Amino acid sequence: MFFIKLIFSFVLISSSLCSANRWYRMFNTNHDDPCIDRHKRFQRCIPDFINAAYQKPIYVTSTCGNSPKEFCNLSQLNQNHPIDYLTDINNPNNLTCWQSDLIKQNDNVSLILSFKKKFELTYISLQFCSPNKPDSMAIFKSMDMGLTWIPLQYYSNNCEDIFNKSSNGLITRSNEQEALCIDTKSQLLTMSETRIAFSTLEGRPSAYEFDTSPVLQDWVTATDIKIILLSSNIEPNSYSLADFAVGGRCKCNGHASKCITNSDGRLVCDCKHNTAGDECERCKDFHYDRPWARATQRDANECVVCNCNKHSTKCRFNLELYKMSGHKSGGVCIDCQHNTAGRSCHYCREGFTRDLTQSMTSINACQACNCNNHSQQCRFNKELYLLSGRKSGGICIQCKHNTVGRHCSYCKETFYRDPNLSITHPDICKGNQ
Ligand SMILES: [Ca+2]
């Protein structure tokens, strides 16, 4: 049963998530970045599927040997049942078992596994060392490093009383994030096995459209897993587990092929496609020309650099502009330098004129008009520019204050220049009276 579930899980997540890597391996044996295809285009990439619990420390609320020592001695030949045995190498021919202390009626044991980062989980499996399994068991996940817990699955011989859940629950497209309670009385086959496995996507209608289902993408995401084993026996009871396994991948939203330890010692995605963040969940700085999106099989949805013509290194995203452009470009440059202005720093700001002998990306693309404060507008004249020894090519237009000339430095006919005022003074030209 477990293997059927396991295969199901693999088919689901592997078929939807692995294709990019599979195609990569078929056609791209000579280059090593799974996030880029053979045509050097971005493509979805995902970290390897792993047992995310393997050799991880587990926090448990009870381990035998801590209270009456005789108990461990009596029940097991091997007296040592430490927590490490939950996540060590699982050899079916030589099981190593963790064992709880004696649990009183209505008490419980909790096991907590922390990934310290978001993972996307395919299955959670527990192998018991003996058929003595708890009457009730619950699997929870946290998405915020253990601050809050969300139920994933319940198991009980009395779902209604223990968990206040019906054992006939049904998952439809309207409640795909709901935990079911599995009636262990009616599923004797499953419960007589020593391994219990919960597949995160099994029976959830959108599982085959995982790529386009934010609800299920969220459902399989966890930073921590908590297992609660409840005892309803009148006599104190002990539970023994050989293996705690969690199949899944480091969550990188399709923008990284591996997770690495960063300089702070934290596990984070090795983000590609111009993305950033622990889970590559945002665009990196200055790459806001279109909105962030998770990579899909069809589209890497890489973040795109803003085009500021080399006059700015800062930009922001504007949704309205993005929509107006037909979902092509929404970046708006901030703080354009070199006397440029505009959404892409693509024209000259007031008082400056475009030097047409320079490329728009040149730091000299915009020249001061030099209109002596009598105009803010000028046009560029290439001949004049060359004649001036490439110093000045602007011709002022719309000179005010009764001035005229290329630099608004002469008075109009019938006006004369006041010799006591500076050329930039607004009253420089006086009328003849
Ligand atoms: Ca073990």
Tens digit of pLDDT for each residue in 282-313? 999 999 999 999 999 999 999 999 999 999 99
Across the chain, mean pLDDT equals 88
Q: Give span(s): CATH 2.170.300.10, the chain.
A: 340-431
Kindly give, in sequence order, each residue whose CB lies less than 8 Å from that of residue 268, ignoring residues fewer than 6 positions away.
117, 259, 260, 261, 262, 278
* Ligand 1 geometric centre to CA of 54 (Å): 10
Query: Has residue 29 got a pLDDT over 50?
Result: no
* Ligand 1 geometric centre to CA of 266 (Å): 27
Query: Has residue 22 got a pLDDT over 70?
Result: no
* Ligand 1 geometric centre to CA of 307 (Å): 56
The predicted pLDDT at position 326 comes to 96
Q: pLDDT for 129-148, tens place per residue?
A: 887 788 899 999 999 999 99
* Ligand 1 geometric centre to CA of 91 (Å): 8
* Ligand 1 geometric centre to CA of 68 (Å): 23
Q: pLDDT for 218-257, tens place per residue?
A: 999 999 999 999 988 888 888 889 999 999 999 999 999 9
* Ligand 1 geometric centre to CA of 99 (Å): 11
Query: Has residue 214 got a pLDDT over 90?
Result: yes
Q: pLDDT for 37-48, tens place per residue?
A: 999 999 999 999
For 2-30+48-251, the fitting CATH number among 2.60.120.260, 2.40.110.10, 3.40.50.300, 3.40.710.10 is: 2.60.120.260
Confidence of residue 78 (pLDDT cuts 50, 70, 90): low
Confidence of residue 17 (pLDDT cuts 50, 70, 90): very low
* Ligand 1 geometric centre to CA of 117 (Å): 24
Confirm or reject CATH 3.40.50.720 for domain 340-431, answering yes or no.
no
Confidence of residue 68 (pLDDT cuts 50, 70, 90): low
* Ligand 1 geometric centre to CA of 108 (Å): 21
The predicted pLDDT at position 188 comes to 53
* Ligand 1 geometric centre to CA of 165 (Å): 32
* Ligand 1 geometric centre to CA of 64 (Å): 15
* Ligand 1 geometric centre to CA of 158 (Å): 29
How many residues would you count in the chain?
A: 433
Mean pLDDT of 174-184: 93
* Ligand 1 geometric centre to CA of 59 (Å): 15
* Ligand 1 geometric centre to CA of 9 (Å): 23
Confidence of residue 12 (pLDDT cuts 50, 70, 90): very low
* Ligand 1 geometric centre to CA of 144 (Å): 28
* Ligand 1 geometric centre to CA of 303 (Å): 44
* Ligand 1 geometric centre to CA of 335 (Å): 59
Query: Has residue 24 got a pLDDT over 50?
Result: no
* Ligand 1 geometric centre to CA of 3 (Å): 19
d(CA 214, CA 149): 19
